[in-house]
Structure 1
């Protein structure tokens, strides 16, 4: 029996590792479109981009790991189709690889800006290791950059640029950075953080053109006609799941490849993990797709376990992500739909001093919690979310009441 994994990113690499750790001794084929062996993405916008970690540290496994564990890692191998009748995947060179079980871990791609000038050479995106390499060089030579989009990637690139003493203008269509994710009160924490570090943060603006001269970027034109001068542009306006293979194969796709708690798709021999997986979450009672490191790290092994044993333990992890910007470190556990107005934000600690925990509650029940510069509390936050019980929000907001007592 051959198990094939399409997508040699973190989810795919962890799945291959879990297959071997789980005792599977048959052929494992790991197909990756890039020329790099599997690597982790958070360092690309954090410590690697900032120069505080080395390039070799981004890779999931040492180079020899795949040979030592008899994993057939094929790089530069793009899968163009899934032939479900023949149980084969078709590669761009015409080669076919048969499978007994197939895991799709194809990740996501950055959304591209659609304005005049967006094709200029110094308009950058950050998704791949090569992108981060180019940005590291950019931050060594640029005097001023414009970052379009104040989401997590945009703000992390901004922090790296300011650490490199590059002037930065951040251009965001919403009224505050991360507004849809965090709401106005917590979003202002990040706005203040970046402005204190000298960022020209402009919210509620529309980008209409990337302005170039002799093929080089000179600035960004806004909807009011003003020009924001810049030597280069970094675009961070979100990502879209790479579901084209699944769609062409006739799998059920709805904001990602729809899978059950065992990561099985509508075809029981095909699984999906990582960014593309819309997973049925037992604790939340619905499908959810999360584009963050923890999902890739943990969903690959869950799929691998189900490939080995159909009765294996399914997915039950709460969504989790983290960021590091300047002297602010944050962890977020749980899930609230972006822009949900039926939640109350309960803040515990020093909001102005950026040392607090925020809870997003509905009828007193915590749905998500975010700890900022406070550590070793994620287990307590997860316990409160999983309990699903209404809490006294006055006590929840009181740092004098231990979380363990709630």
Structure 2
């Protein structure tokens, strides 16, 4: 019988796992271990509103009283050093916690590119609240900011820096912004948006190194040898899943902690959820690893159900968002295997969507300042509703009425 469940990780997946255990009726001991000292908090605001806000208050996912009321033991500021599957113990240095069930919500860390100068003092990565506090203090004195990476985090911080009056240059090695996850029309729109804000965007510009003086970065050198002045360098070139604990414990790992359709690892006593998880996607027909709050929360719910003997297949439709300047980008579904797309609305009007199709099947929607399209998209993809391409492109058609009628 499961009496002790330990959750490793204090992000969105870990916090949801704790809440779901209690709401699903588990009455044994629940312990959440986090390397961070803060009560689990909302992470997306760190690259957006938190940097601009006057105070350093975090948006807690649930108040401290929730954990006390639901008898969830929080072990904060503690690093898990090993998982002893044979003994059923989670090791925390000299201490240990017994487990009958285990939730791995270990998340991911920022990828550190192997370039000279990356260890200079005024180089910034953003993943945790402490990272955000450090960057916020730096922004108070920064003048010339160089952002390495034209993905979500880099562009969100670039927009924030411009709004704070900094000189900003974004260096992206690929031919377009956010090229791994959005349609070309979306990339082009945000390229124009950031340039209109006064940000210099350099595409197809790999970084060769960071130039320092007296331990401080003073410029970023591109592969072509150009040096761009910088007193603050932000690196946002993706993340690496935290799989080391799982791998050392003998669990199956391949670009993430490998799980079955109910989030069970190769040890059925252990489930995993969130950014560190690799799972077989039912629609794409291959293994994927997703990095989003929605995915972390929904996988945690599925994994907890499996631990409690109620396992069902994970079938949640993924969705993502990014706020950059005055533009809200919202995405639903996965466009990886799409082979055609149609435009609804006009980018020049600042409000439009791209509907992605694999042959005639709607598989994803990218929306800019069109929350209605996004919400309808979540409903359509969740229910399997199919939308003809010509109808999707025709703004004369009331999509809401059509979807509700279907």
Specify the TM-score bucket, using the shorter chain as the normaliser: over 0.9
Cα distance in 1, alignment partners of residues 16 and 282 from structure 2: 23
Aligned to 1:318: 317
Report SS of the residue matched to 1:358: strand
Q: Is the 8 A contact 2:353 2:367 kept in 1?
A: yes
TM-superposed deviation, 1:166: 0.9
TM-superposed deviation, 1:284: 4.8
- Cα distance change of structure 1 residues 402 and 186 upon mapping to structure 2, 3 Å threshold: same
Report SS of the residue matched to 1:17: helix
Alignment partner of 1:399 out of 395, 399, 405 = 395
Aligned to 2:111: 111
Q: Does 1:17 align with 2:13?
A: no
Cα distance in 2, alignment partners of residues 174 and 343 from structure 1: 21
Aligned to 1:30: 32
**Does 82-91 or 155-164 show the bigger shift?**
82-91
State the aligned residue count.
400
**Does 369-378 or 159-168 show the bigger shift?**
369-378
Aligned to 1:85: 86
TM-superposed deviation, 1:142: 0.6
User: What pairs with 1:168-207 in structure 2 (closer than 5 Å)?
Assistant: 168-207=168-207
Aligned to 1:73: 74
Report SS of the residue matched to 2:182: helix
Q: Which runs of 5+ in 2 are unaligned?
A: none
Q: Is the 8 A contact 2:380 2:386 kept in 1?
A: no
Aligned to 1:238: 238
Root mean square deviation of aligned Cα: 1.8
TM-superposed deviation, 1:387: 5.8
Cα distance in 1, alignment partners of residues 70 and 284 from structure 2: 36
Q: TM-score of the superposition, structure 2-length normalised?
A: 0.94
Aligned to 1:61: 62
Superimposed CA distance per residue, residues 103-128 of structure 1 (whole angstroms, 9 cap, x where no aligned partner): 00000000002111111000010001
Q: Is the 8 A contact 2:56 2:133 kept in 1?
A: no
Superimposed CA distance per residue, residues 354-376 of structure 1 (whole angstroms, 9 cap, x where no aligned partner): 20111111112111102211123
TM-superposed deviation, 1:273: 0.5
Q: Is the 8 A contact 2:183 2:366 kept in 1?
A: no
Aligned to 2:369: 373
Aligned to 1:352: 348
Report SS of the residue matched to 2:372: coil
Q: Is the 8 A contact 1:283 1:386 kept in 2?
A: no
Q: Does 1:336 align with 2:332?
A: no
TM-superposed deviation, 1:291: 0.7
Q: Is the 8 A contact 2:353 2:373 kept in 1?
A: no
